[in-house]
Amino acid sequence: MKILIADDERLSRHLLQKTLERAGYEVTAVENGRLAAEHLCRLDGPRLALLDWVMPELDGPEVCRLVRQQRKQVHVHIVLLTSKESKKDVVVGLESGADDYLIKPCDPEELKARLRTGLRILQLEDKLVEAREDMRFKATHDSLTSLLNRGAVMELLSRELVRTRREKASITILLGDVDHFKQVNDTYGHAVGDEVLREVAKRLLSSARSYDLVGRYGGEEFLIVLNNSDARYALARAEQIRNAVARLPVQTTRGPLAVTMSLGVLASGTEGPCSVEDILYEIDMALYAAKAAGRNCSKLVEPKFACAEPAAT
């Protein structure tokens, strides 16, 4: 575990560093408050700190306040080292953002015990953050494919449409459907159908860029949003994605299966459907046309109406 020591007294700093290195800590030692604040405010900075109260440039409480202001997402456990023993001084130190304090000179065993307490607090925080992120992921992602779920991808699409119109850019939206998927379920069972959907999801993700959106729209349907995509190449990009799905058989527990996808394609910019609902209606018609044309192909829809400019305020 990384720990930062800030003390302007060289001997004190050296003794603390040796004590903590023997206890297994990775120690960074600095001689003033400014350097301490710089280290602790970095994204990858130490999450444990021992700060002398009185230091050049910034004192311990000032460093605490800076760290609390600038590193809000991750907790840093800070222990103030001080010769001040009055209750008033202790309150000032704790209210500045310190988590604990020790009176100098401190007993090495007490110091290590206080730091172990700090470690337990940090570990508990990490578990809480992990649980929160896990709940957030589950709320926005499909449990089978780990893609964005329908609600999340629709919300993000709505935001991208607003941004596209504001920046007078363009966006390509694809609605894909796995061909003959019901036949896969009926012939091989739903477990194999799930294997197919997971592999299709992986292939869609691998063929999209990091800032594109890929979501499971429902059942065997997938929604792909290609941000800042030139409308002239919308159909070509759709064909690249379709080929990425169809190029190799999907390996399943029942053997390899040939899998293809039909795609409806719509390129939207300053002209075109106004709302997500309008876009999905038109792109669904394009998908229907792709299926009617024999499946395993992409069909581009030309928007049938333009979105009016927003009224001036």
Q: What is the CATH number of the domain that holds 224?
A: 3.30.70.270
Predicted confidence pLDDT, tens digits, the chain (313 residues) = 899 999 988 998 898 999 999 999 999 999 999 999 999 999 889 999 999 988 999 999 999 999 999 887 889 999 998 887 677 877 888 888 899 988 888 888 999 999 999 999 999 999 998 999 999 999 999 999 999 999 999 999 999 988 888 888 889 999 999 999 999 999 999 999 999 999 999 999 999 999 999 999 999 999 999 998 888 889 999 999 999 999 999 999 999 999 999 999 998 764 555 678 888 999 999 999 999 999 999 999 865 544 444 433 3
What is the reported pLDDT for 279? 87
What's the pTM? 0.70
Which of residues 90, 117, 138 is at a domain's end? 138
* Whether 17 and 126 share a structural domain: yes
Residue 307 domain-assigned?
A: no
Residue 117 domain-assigned?
A: yes
Residue 143 domain-assigned?
A: no
- Tell me how many domains the chain contains: 2
* Whether 113 and 218 share a structural domain: no
Which of residues 138, 166, 190 is at a domain's end? 138
* Whether 96 and 59 share a structural domain: yes
* Whether 10 and 63 share a structural domain: yes
Which of residues 80, 108, 138 is at a domain's end? 138
* Whether 277 and 159 share a structural domain: yes
277 is catalytic: no
Contacts of 189 (CB under 8 A, 6+ apart): 254
User: Which one of 220, 239, 271, 309 is the catalytic residue?
Assistant: 220
Residue 185 is part of which domain span? 150-301
Task: Determine contact, residues 181/196, Cβ cutoff 8 Å.
Answer: yes
* Whether 163 and 292 share a structural domain: yes
Residue 127 domain-assigned?
A: yes
